Structure 1
Amino acid sequence: MKVAVLASGRGSNLQAMIAEWQEGTLPVEFVGVGSNNLDAMALTIAEKAGIPVRAFPRDNYNDKSEQETDILNWLEDIGTELLILAGYMLVLSPRFVRTAEYPIVNIHPALLPSFPGLHAQKQALDYGVKVSGCTVHYVDEGMDSGPIILQETVPVFDEDDEETLSARILKKEHIIYPEAIRLLANGKVKRDGRRVIIQRDS
């Protein structure tokens, strides 16, 4: 499966995927890593792994629509079969999602549908939940509202702050995001409306 990644920052989830790919346990071909941020560490990580990179800084475009059109054309040119969002800090427009002829997946640092949007870990702490976690989901035209592929839980401790909870969730992200991509690449994920069925090997 030809996989492209969009990332904006440190690229820790991308690094986790590349590590498994280099070990031969992630059956994909990384065809490109793109970013809206010229200084994104994700671009450096990809380059070191020999993956082609491309930057799409907002200042190069008249508006967001023009920027997204350029990204979509790039994704088509490199033969994308699956688009992974890994810390991509721009919300894809409904037009982008409708135009893409391949699945788009994202990971969110909360147990969706609870706490969508920004600062999900702080939202969870402010609400007083005892369990949080992360969610790999398909991207649709809403905000973190697409069908759920995988979820993993983490406990919330009384002494937690946003930083400590985020760090605990991130460790789980690095496990379940590559696993979700592996399942998708191996054809083990089936969608039935909002339900996502995982076909596990017996």
Structure 2
Amino acid sequence: MINLAIFASGSGSNFDAIVHAIEKGELDANVSLLVCDRVGAPVIEKAQRYEVDTVVFTPKVYNGKAAYEEALLADCRDREIDYIILAGYMRLIGPTLLKPYENRIINIHPSLLPAFPGKDAIGQAVSKQVKITGVTVHFIDDGMDTGPIIDQEAVRIEDTDTEEDVKRKIQAVEHELYPKVIQSLLVKEDAK
């Protein structure tokens, strides 16, 4: 069985979607670990409900990014993690994790990259009054939302849509697309 570690910082809606896909038999993997960098983030409670091992790291207590990522890497190795899945994890990944998990760290972003990278992609799309935005699943590299694109899906923005409407549309697509893309990667891995 493929072991996943999900890194998240917030509400955990994509965490939920991935676990539900596993429960429904649509994703052949095991969520072995939740890594969270915010004490009290709602995703922690979700992980507890699903009985997923959880570690909460406060980056400020470490002597730099490399030391913080060494601690994350140790937990991932202890649990034999095959893939790291970023689900609203609001930190750039450094070489300490990138090298051992090359092409095995996956992120989901609420825009059609390369448009609107970084924070508040939905707000950026709404303020620019674009008609099409979307969702991108990509591998992580050392840039911000610059890694190779795995898949994308478009979302239309109507003139009457508020930012909250767009967010709901984006999340609905994310919750379907992310588990499917992860499963397709695992199938390709199995075929090797």
TM-score (structure 1 length as normaliser): 0.87
Unaligned runs of 5+ in 2: none
SS of residue in 2 equivalent to 1:113 = coil
Q: Once superposed, what is the RMSD of the aligned Cα atoms?
A: 1.8
Question: Where in structure 2 are the equivalents of 1:18-33 lying within 5 Å?
Answer: 18-33=19-34
Change (3 A) 1:44 1:178: same
Taking the aligned partners of 1:157 and 1:137, their CA distance within structure 2 comes to: 26
The offset of 1:101, in angstroms, is 5.1
Cross-structure match for 1:197: none
Taking the aligned partners of 1:23 and 1:87, their CA distance within structure 2 comes to: 23
My pick for the range that moved more, 100-109 or 82-91, is: 100-109
Cross-structure match for 1:49: 50
Q: Are 1:87 and 2:80 counterparts?
A: no
The offset of 1:105, in angstroms, is 0.2
Output the amino acid matched with 2:183. Answer: R
Taking the aligned partners of 1:99 and 1:87, their CA distance within structure 2 comes to: 21
Cross-structure match for 2:161: 160
Change (3 A) 1:155 1:36: same
Q: Deviations over 1:142-189 (max 9, x none)?
A: 110111111111111112232221121111000000111111121279
Question: Where in structure 2 are the equivalents of 1:1-202 lying within 5 Å?
Answer: 1-100=2-101, 103-187=104-188
Q: Deviations over 1:22-48 (max 9, x none)?
A: 122210011111111121221221121
Output the amino acid matched with 1:143. Answer: M
SS of residue in 2 equivalent to 1:187 = helix
The offset of 1:127, in angstroms, is 2.3
- Percent of aligned pairs sharing the same letter: 36
Output the amino acid matched with 1:106. Answer: N
Q: Deviations over 1:115-153 (max 9, x none)?
A: 111111121122221111100111111110111111111
**Kept after mapping to 1: 8 A contact 2:69/2:96:** no
Moved over 3 A (4+): none
Taking the aligned partners of 1:81 and 1:13, their CA distance within structure 2 comes to: 19
Taking the aligned partners of 1:24 and 1:18, their CA distance within structure 2 comes to: 10
The offset of 1:84, in angstroms, is 0.1
**Kept after mapping to 1: 8 A contact 2:103/2:139:** no
Output the amino acid matched with 2:56. Answer: A
**Kept after mapping to 2: 8 A contact 1:83/1:103:** yes
Taking the aligned partners of 1:159 and 1:142, their CA distance within structure 2 comes to: 34
Unaligned runs of 5+ in 1: 191-202
- How many residues align? The count is 190
**Kept after mapping to 2: 8 A contact 1:132/1:155:** yes
TM-score (structure 2 length as normaliser): 0.92
